Structure 1
Amino acid sequence: MRRLTAMLLLVLLLCPVPSAVANTTAPTVETTWMSVLLGGRKIGHLKIDRERGQGMVTTTQTLSIMLNRTGKSIPLSNMIRSVEGNDGEPLAFASRTSMSAMDSVIDGQRQPDGSYKVTTTVGGATRESSLYWPAGALLNDGQRRAMLAASRKPGLQYQLQMFDPASQQVMDVAIEVIGNEEVKLPGGTEMLNHQRQRLHQARGDQILDLWLDDRGQARKGIISMLGRQLEMLACDETCAMAPVQDVDMFRAAMVDAPRPLTPNLRESFLRYRVRIEGSGSAQPIINTDEQRVRRLADNEWQIDIGPAYPGGQRPPQPEDLQANSWLQSDAPAVRDLAREAVGNASSDRQKIRRLRSFVSHYITQHGLDVGYASALEVVGTRQGDCTEYSVLLAAMARAEGIPARVVTGMVYADRYSNTSRVFVPHAWVQAWIDGRWQSYDAALRRFDSTHIALDSGDGDPWHFFSATDLFSSMQIEDVMPSWEFMSPAPAGAVAPPALGGSPGG
């Protein structure tokens, strides 16, 4: 699965840009270029255009990167625009993300009553909604003003509410002013103000270090991604546009297995002992009806995976049945396909099994060069990898009235990309069947106990951000089937149920 979301969030946090000089009637444009590096290797560039005129400040940030997945190069890009009054008052926002054949576009315009009309286009389908601006939330120039004012107070700790146009969410960011430091950049050494941003998340904090000049412009930024240091460095256009270097992101996301997991083990109940650096007491992995997580010590966790039983996660909510921008279950093309797939099936169990089988065969071009496509786009292209299988299956399930969620996690592979015995990033679907959430994997055609769920959501790629760093910080120390850790059963006792007989597919 793609980890573009970490990059996109970084762009949003690197929002401070040059302060304009005196306001004039004719718009003025100022451009900043930055080179983007991962683990010391160049993967792309960031261009920041700031236009000021007619009482408004418009900031446009365009990120372009090239990632490599097992030999395939994937170009990814993201544009974020914010429009504000000269005093930092939000007026409009927009986002355009290229992760597949079709761009996903968000446009938010302030209305006379103070609300925002938000138009979202994904996979060729357009939806409109209303947004009431969150109190205290800031766009680009408002954030710049706050950080510039704080830069004069070393040791200050303060909070900012940063609005993310791409996800339309507010990020609660704690910031510490560390002080002025000499920083080496491609164009020479500069004296910059070091501020550390801490984004609070359920699985632990995400930390971004920024170095700002005396106009509030970010000249350098560092964040951790998949165990590597991602840097953005201000430089001239020639430096920023220099050729990129290959970085295999998929290998960095693999987690070694401590033992071979044979087919009979995969179909049994499995207990994992996992170490996740930096997790402390905050639970970094979700509970599901098939997966129960227990803390053993700081950074040490036990994960039990087996047949589904109720109580691991909350029952279906209204949004688990609703169409959205990525799961267009109300689109005629999706509804017609779902109707064709289920045929005369009468129960939800029969329907989801037929849907899973249908999707497994429907996607005929399986490949890693699709960034992230919506269900409606997959209907037309019939290509993709595990995420495309998952969004299509979830959308078709919702079209048939079955609550469904998209799960992001990892799964065991005997061999993948010239590597043996590893867990690789993966996605599948949970459906509400017989009073519990049960998993269905259209890409691999069946679910087993080597599927470790990290998060679940509504198919929006922004949900994957929360699991980004888990791959690099996770170490699976041991995997045991039930017969290795349970006391010997009395003669004639019934063994724990195997997943092979479970309804998950």
Structure 2
Amino acid sequence: MRRTFVCLVVLLLAARAGADQPKGRLLLDHWYAAYLNGAKAGFVHTTVREFGSGTKILRTVNELDLRVKRFKDDVRMFMQTGTDETPAGKVTGVFMRQGLAEGQQLVLTGTVDDEQLHVKVTGLANPMDKKIWWNDQVIGLYGEMNLFRNKKVKPGDTFSYMHYEPSLNAVVTVKVTVKDFEEIDNNGRKLKLLRVESRPDKILGVQLPASSLWLNKDLDVVRSQVEMEGLGKLVLVQTSKEEAQRRDGPTAKLPDIGLTNLIRLNRRIEDPHETDSVTYRITLPNDDEPATAFVRDSRQKVARAKGKSFELTIQAIRKPDPDTDGGEDNVAEYLKSNDFINSKDAKVREFAAEAVGREKDPWRKAQRIERWVHDHMRVVNFSVAMATADHVARTLEGDCSEFAMLTAAMCRAAGVPARIAVGLVYAENKGMPTLAYHMWTEVCVAGQWLALDATLGRGSVGACHLKITHHSWNDTQSIAPLLPLTRVMLGKPAIEVIRTGAED
């Protein structure tokens, strides 16, 4: 039972996507109840169907359906993944269906051709059609379900295998260690089950969490558990359809992942968004190289790295410096229209022209766009996943990711190079100082990158925005640009304010 996709879909908070009901002879129909920190949150449904009158194909489909809360809003997360395999275990095809926003979904299909996977992605502005490396040793979902039985695993065994992760469009190696038998309370029944630890290799430098699996006497997975920072303990238990789909009352009992993802600070920062300089001490106990987790650029510097901690000093840059050569001369990448930052969209271009008017100065153009987005959008829908800019231009609602995407697209449409920044921002929750995960926009003016945040609409960004990474979102139809954010979340960050500019 694959677990990697669960971690990734939680980052996206995927909106509900309609799932086609496949035909074919049903061979297997398994249901798993999903619990978050002990509260019933949804289910995973796995089916295997047989197709073909000559050469048989086994199609395995996993559907994840979870409910959580995010800043008091109910969020429905849905993702469908699957593989086609021969009875001998050769993968012939892959697919994924993932919601991006209400009425918008990404659909990936892939067919195996010798040593290549021919992948097509639809649902975005520019459908993708490309080939990636493939290895015939990759195991599909059906192969994973039978892996332990086929290997006749026993305590002490270790091995590895490869599977395809569609949310990243990449092949991932998973290392497996078979532990010992344990007595487990499984749906009120005491069972003696064999525990297995499953750990994926790093993906683009990010270590996703390991999973614990428990096997019954037939070596089938009947229970699994993964600890996900910001979400908590996710446990899947094999059960009946009725029990898996049963709802245990209101979502009030479920964790609010908006609140659980807040990082507490040791003290308040007065007038945070007007503060021009702050030094933070950041500790990432679960990261191998903490000092590389936050990007270094003209506004933030890393110093005094020791063990799992380092200092990050941020100096606000409020406007272009005419006496400074920013050094960024390769801006073509940040002017292109792409699937997420679709600056060629007619509505995006219309709004950009309306916001900019007759303004010619690039920095003032960008500031006017930031103000337009701030004034015209509504922060109403935290259940949206990662809507594209053209979609946002038609709804004019969302959270920080939608504000950032639309701002970047409108800036590009107005001829101002722009990219998306991902990181943390100062926020107070019931009087408690915290940092919240956040997205904003950066624009390049005279070779200098300057930050804007349409969620706040203040015309510049101070020292209370801590950037983890930035990306143009070109040539990507996956969530790979968010993996550095995942790295920080899984690093279990602790952050202190050491000093502010007013104290220097």
- TM-score, scaled relative to structure 1: 0.81
Structure 1 residues 148-167: Cα deviation after superposition (integer angstroms, max 9, x where no partner): 44552543443333211233
Show the counterpart of 1:430: 442
The 3 A distance-change label for structure 1 pair 235 and 380 is same
Structure 1 residues 18-74: Cα deviation after superposition (integer angstroms, max 9, x where no partner): xxxxxxxx7233111111111111111111111134311111111111111232212
Contact 1:150–1:156 (8 Å) recurs in 2: no
Indicate the SS of the match to 1:206: coil
Contact 1:394–1:429 (8 Å) recurs in 2: yes
Structure 1 residues 199-224: Cα deviation after superposition (integer angstroms, max 9, x where no partner): 32535452222223466643222112
Show the counterpart of 2:495: 476
Show the counterpart of 1:207: 210
Indicate the SS of the match to 1:350: helix
The 3 A distance-change label for structure 1 pair 266 and 324 is same
Show the counterpart of 1:327: 341
Q: Aligned pair 1:464/2:497, yes or no? A: no
Q: Aligned pair 1:31/2:29, yes or no? A: yes
Q: 1:242 aligns with which of 236, 241, 246?
A: 246
Q: 2:120 aligns with which of 102, 108, 118?
A: 118
Show the counterpart of 1:127: 127
Q: 2:228 aligns with which of 225, 239, 242?
A: 225
Indicate the SS of the match to 2:339: coil
**C-alpha distance in structure 2 between counterparts of 1:453 and 1:53, whole Å:** 49
Runs of 5+ consecutive residues of structure 1 not aligned to the other structure: 11-25, 486-505
**C-alpha distance in structure 1 between counterparts of 2:294 and 2:402, whole Å:** 23
Contact 2:325–2:446 (8 Å) recurs in 1: no
Superposition deviation, residue 106 in structure 1: 1.5
**TM superposition outliers: structure 1 runs of 4+ over 6 Å:** 309-315
Contact 1:43–1:247 (8 Å) recurs in 2: no
The alignment yields a C-alpha RMSD, in angstroms, of 3.2
Show the counterpart of 2:81: 80
The 3 A distance-change label for structure 1 pair 204 and 132 is closer
Q: Which amino acid aligns with 2:95?
A: A
The count of corresponding residues between Structure 1 and Structure 2 is 463
Show the counterpart of 1:292: 301
**C-alpha distance in structure 2 between counterparts of 1:405 and 1:315, whole Å:** 15
Contact 1:281–1:295 (8 Å) recurs in 2: no
The 3 A distance-change label for structure 1 pair 167 and 318 is farther
Q: 1:271 aligns with which of 279, 304, 308?
A: 279
**C-alpha distance in structure 1 between counterparts of 2:335 and 2:413, whole Å:** 8
Q: 1:448 aligns with which of 441, 462, 479?
A: 462
Contact 1:69–1:250 (8 Å) recurs in 2: yes
Once the two structures are overlaid, the 10-residue window that deviates more, 224-233 or 452-461, is 452-461
Q: Aligned pair 1:339/2:357, yes or no? A: no
Structure 1 residues 121-150: Cα deviation after superposition (integer angstroms, max 9, x where no partner): 04xx46132223433544323444555445
Once the two structures are overlaid, the 10-residue window that deviates more, 145-154 or 388-397, is 145-154
Contact 1:74–1:371 (8 Å) recurs in 2: no
The 3 A distance-change label for structure 1 pair 138 and 325 is farther
Superposition deviation, residue 442 in structure 1: 0.7
The 3 A distance-change label for structure 1 pair 289 and 89 is farther
Contact 1:270–1:481 (8 Å) recurs in 2: yes
Indicate the SS of the match to 2:212: strand
Indicate the SS of the match to 1:163: strand
Percent of paired sites with the same residue: 21
Q: Aligned pair 1:307/2:316, yes or no? A: yes
Superposition deviation, residue 280 in structure 1: 4.2
Indicate the SS of the match to 1:8: helix
Q: 1:394 aligns with which of 385, 408, 411?
A: 408
The 3 A distance-change label for structure 1 pair 160 and 392 is farther
Once the two structures are overlaid, the 10-residue window that deviates more, 279-288 or 231-240, is 279-288
Q: Aligned pair 1:421/2:421, yes or no? A: no
* Aligned counterparts, 1:379-390, within 5 A: 379-390=393-404
Contact 2:348–2:413 (8 Å) recurs in 1: yes
Superposition deviation, residue 82 in structure 1: 1.7
**C-alpha distance in structure 1 between counterparts of 2:267 and 2:310, whole Å:** 18
**C-alpha distance in structure 2 between counterparts of 1:287 and 1:158, whole Å:** 38
Contact 2:34–2:237 (8 Å) recurs in 1: yes
Indicate the SS of the match to 2:294: coil
**C-alpha distance in structure 1 between counterparts of 2:331 and 2:95, whole Å:** 29
The 3 A distance-change label for structure 1 pair 7 and 115 is closer
Superposition deviation, residue 118 in structure 1: 0.3
Q: Which amino acid aligns with 1:222?
A: Q
Q: Which amino acid aligns with 1:394?
A: A
Show the counterpart of 2:260: 252
**C-alpha distance in structure 2 between counterparts of 1:30 and 1:392, whole Å:** 44
Structure 1 residues 61-116: Cα deviation after superposition (integer angstroms, max 9, x where no partner): 11111111232212221111222222333322222223521241223142778652
Superposition deviation, residue 271 in structure 1: 0.5
**C-alpha distance in structure 2 between counterparts of 1:315 and 1:475, whole Å:** 36
Runs of 5+ consecutive residues of structure 2 not aligned to the other structure: 12-23
Superposition deviation, residue 251 in structure 1: 1.2
The 3 A distance-change label for structure 1 pair 145 and 400 is farther
Contact 1:76–1:99 (8 Å) recurs in 2: no
Show the counterpart of 1:40: 38
Q: Which amino acid aligns with 1:284?
A: A
Q: Which amino acid aligns with 1:223?
A: V
Indicate the SS of the match to 2:440: strand
**C-alpha distance in structure 1 between counterparts of 2:166 and 2:63, whole Å:** 13
Indicate the SS of the match to 1:384: coil
**C-alpha distance in structure 1 between counterparts of 2:150 and 2:72, whole Å:** 46
Q: 2:364 aligns with which of 340, 347, 350?
A: 350
Once the two structures are overlaid, the 10-residue window that deviates more, 430-439 or 338-347, is 338-347
Q: 1:261 aligns with which of 242, 256, 269?
A: 269
- TM-score, scaled relative to structure 2: 0.81
Indicate the SS of the match to 1:405: strand
Q: Which amino acid aligns with 1:301?
A: F
Contact 2:73–2:382 (8 Å) recurs in 1: yes
Show the counterpart of 2:424: 410
Show the counterpart of 1:503: none
